[in-house]
Amino acid sequence: MVIIFLTIGFIILKIWQRDKEGIMKRFLGLLTAMLLVVALVISCAPAGTTKKTSKKDKKSGEVAKAGSIKAGKIKFTFDSNEYGGASSVNLVGSFNGWNPTDPNYAMEDPDGDGIFEIEVEWDAGKYLYKYYIDGNWPKDMSELEQYISPKPTEYVDDGFGGRNAVLVVE
């Protein structure tokens, strides 16, 4: 997209330099201004929905927009009771190089209630992730949605026949 705008800008500049009467300069100046405004609007538009909400999710932090979480501390939970039991759960994804044994992302069950949790501090961005449960990768994260919080923004192909969860942080 940037290359297209640079090419258009170069062409406009060349025409501008050859215009002796100034008519083309005014026309191209207006056209350039309109193209810049369109490019600015397109590049600044948020992806996906822009519905604002002020609801507070008790398990995961404040919701920024529908399907996204505000940047800062985010609490991830996995209810192993509903899942059928688990002895170890790790949060794994693009944020830690997909390392399933990263001790910084080992979820804990401090009160022994079967709900594993971890609190992370994330900046704004789009994070792909999965839970690594008892040494196994779930094939499709959407199958775990009823056991986890926060709910993913979306799911994407993981390249191995399954799907990763995606969380948009704003």
Q: Which residue blocks in 19-168 are alpha helix, DSSP H? A: 23-44, 80-83
Mean pLDDT of 9-22: 71
pTM of the model: 0.60
Classify the phi-psi angles of 97: left when phi > 0, otherwise alpha if psi is within -120 to 50, otherwise beta. left
List Cα–Cα distances, 152 to 48, 60, 61, 69, 168, in angstroms: 14, 11, 13, 10, 8
Domain CATH code at residue 71? 2.60.40.10
Both 102 and 25 in one domain: the answer is: no
Both 67 and 16 in one domain: the answer is: no
Both 97 and 17 in one domain: the answer is: no
Reported as a single tens digit per residue, the pLDDT across 107-161 is 999 999 999 999 999 999 999 999 999 999 988 999 999 999 999 999 999 998 9
Q: Domain residues for 15?
A: 2-44
List Cα–Cα distances, 112 to 40, 75, 86, 108, 146, in angstroms: 52, 17, 11, 9, 20
* 51 part of a folded domain: no
Both 115 and 145 in one domain: the answer is: yes
State both tokens at 43.
């590049």
Overall domain count for the chain: 2
Reported as a single tens digit per residue, the pLDDT across 79-117 is 999 888 899 999 999 999 999 999 999 999 999 999 999
* 49 part of a folded domain: no
